[in-house]
Amino acid sequence: MNFERRAKDIWKMAENYRDDTAKFLSDMVRIRSYSGQEEEICKHIASLCEDLDFDEVKIDGLGSVLARIGSGRKILAIDAHVDTVEVGDLSQWERHPFSGDIRDGLVYGRGSSDQKGGAAAMLSAGRILKKLNYDDEWTVWFAFTVMEEDCDGMCWKYLIEEEDLVPDFILSTEPTSCRLARGHRGRMEMELKLKGISAHGSAPERGDSAAYKAARAALAMEMLNEELKPDEEGFLGKGSIVVSQIDVKGPSQCAVPDVARLYMDRRLTWGENAELAIGQVKEKVGQALGVDNVDCVMPDYAKTGWRGTKYSQELYFPTWKTNEGHPLVQAGVRAYKGLFAKAPAVDKWVFSTNLVSASGRHGIPGIGFGPGDEKEAHAPNEVNRIEDLVICSAFYASLVYALEGVKASR
């Protein structure tokens, strides 16, 4: 059967599964699954994959669900993280954040776009591949991963380095508004520690305020952010830095504070790395404070997953991009054209995804295509479009066929 005919069959099946896909998402939204607390949703997804007759279903040591279709010598991974951020101020939500309401072509609730929508579409894509009896060149691993919101990509660092699951290509289903993404900026976190000298609050001139040092350091970061440059290609845009937390402490409320801590989120464009970013902070803060030695470090992250496994990494998430002419990107274009008779928009994410590990850290060619909009992520009144779920479930299944004959580049 030619590819175009196959794509039409896939689209028809995705349409037939529309209501089921929406219900998959609705049911997942109703399950609270904050980072490190994903046991219930992972067991729910594993049960669904077994009911849908995936060829193999297992849960890795960190807690991610892996569901396989096919047994080819080349490996395609399709990823969705199933943890969410918390809901924030409940008064800002028009519906309960875990309602999972289905109404007017939308599914409502926390995680509907970021990013259980991708997980729901993956379930239907696997169902389509099973109905088509797919068993050709590719092994397709559907990965429903954990702890992304706390430490994006750590789940894939674990899969690659501890479980030895090394795909040839990877697709992230983070929301792209059904556009094809081929890269995004990396990021890192930095901690700056400042010291002052305490004195009684009635005589501040006797001390050296860590609070004022923190203020000058924060303004230096504002200046640094304005000076950062975009990448040469002009694709990923400029790097950025923001002071996300400031803590100042002293012996009492009536004293000059002697300790300050600034926490920073640094977004890294192409050509920037951790060493460069830390050096820039040290230089700018040193100039602002008139000192030579500045205590700025990149912290580590460590957490115990729901299965009891403790894992850690430094809070560095490398930049990645896949060239537009790469066979994986072109297969994505072909898959989309086969379904909709037009080329997709090819773009990038603004935020960060698990591909910082698979593609940024480990060099696995990656793309993204997901239901819902980036702006819904972490926002109140989060929703996803059911139409996007249908489009994406068809696209994921179609991509597998579009990759037939493509040589793995690893």
Nearest residue to 216 via CA among 319, 143, 294, 154: 294
Q: Which of 38, 79, 83, 388 is catalytic?
A: 83
Angle, CA 138 vertex, CA 162 and CA 402 arms, to 5°:
125
Nearest residue to 62 via CA among 153, 140, 142: 153
Residue 370, token pair as written in the block: 């997901």
Residue 253, token pair as written in the block: 């409320």
Say how many CA atoms lie within 13 Å of 256 toward its Cβ: 18
* Euclidean distance between CA atoms 400 and 396, whole angstroms: 7
**Residue 83 known to be catalytic:** yes
**Residue 232 known to be catalytic:** no
Mark 242-281 as b/e (b = at least 16 C-beta within 10 Å): ebeeeebebeeeebbbbbbbbebbbbbbbebebeebbebb
Nearest residue to 207 via CA among 155, 160, 254: 254
* Euclidean distance between CA atoms 335 and 178, whole angstroms: 12
Residue whose structure tokens are 């609070």: 211
DSSP 8-state secondary structure symbol assigned to residue 345:
P
Give yes or no for a contact between 22 and 267, defined as CB atoms under 8 angstroms apart.
no
3-class secondary-structure state, position 389: helix
Q: Which of 38, 60, 79, 148 is catalytic?
A: 148
Phi first, then psi, for residue 384 (nearest 5°) are: -140, 150
Residue 346, token pair as written in the block: 């090819």
The residues assigned a catalytic role are 83, 148
